[in-house]
Amino acid sequence: MAFELPDNLHPNCGPIAWMLGTWRGNGHGDYPTIDAFQFGQELIFTHDGRPFFHYMARAWVIDENGEKVRDAAIETGFIRAVGDGRFEILLTHNTGIAEIWEGEADNGKFEWTTDAVARTETAKEYVAGKRLYGNVEGDLLYAFDMAAMGQPLQPHLWARLKRA
């Protein structure tokens, strides 16, 4: 699907402009404290001309046939363009976690590292993360590594999404 840069795109958002729009696909998850699983996901990146994107993601667990089993994670927030390919990311999750990330983008690659994590009293332990988003053959590929539940930073989620 062809993608055109919006006329009102803020120049500082240029390095991640390719992400704008809606993306859907499937991925895999694994971690030492849970059973491996597959999931479907939708990511939505929007903007209004100011130097930030609004981001929303929702996921659902799927079975081996790709059929939805149950709803899973939801996260939303803002990707703030600082300039020179640098970004500040603020995310909140339905699981009671709020995060601040620092990111850098260049040549179709967008890498995030956590700067701060806050949790509600009932949220599971989560202390750090690293994300890598890439434009690969026109698809959005990503990987999410996390440190949680007493485990060191390690792979947790990976997916390939197509522009919807």
Mean pLDDT of 84-100: 98
Mean pLDDT of 105-127: 97
Domain span including residue 92: 11-131
C-alpha 62/C-alpha 50 separation (Å) is 36
Whether residue 141 lies inside any domain: the answer is: no
Above 60 in pLDDT, residue 114?
yes
Tokens representing 44 are 């939505």
Domains: count for the chain: 1
Query: Residue 5 has what pLDDT?
Result: 85
Whether residue 146 lies inside any domain: the answer is: no
Whether residue 40 lies inside any domain: the answer is: yes
Q: How many CB atoms lie within 10 A of CB 24?
A: 14
- pLDDT band (50, 70, 90) for residue 3: confident
Whether residue 85 lies inside any domain: the answer is: yes
Which residues fall in the annotated binding site? 33, 124, 156
Which residues fall in the annotated binding site for heme b? 33, 124, 156
Tokens representing 45 are 């990146």
Q: Give per-residue pLDDT as tens, 5-24.
A: 899 999 999 999 999 999 99
Whether residue 158 lies inside any domain: the answer is: no
> pTM of this prediction?
0.95
Whether residue 107 lies inside any domain: the answer is: yes
CA geometry: angle 157, 146, 70, nearest 5 deg: 45
Whether residue 151 lies inside any domain: the answer is: no
**Domain with 58 in it: what CATH number?**
2.40.128.20
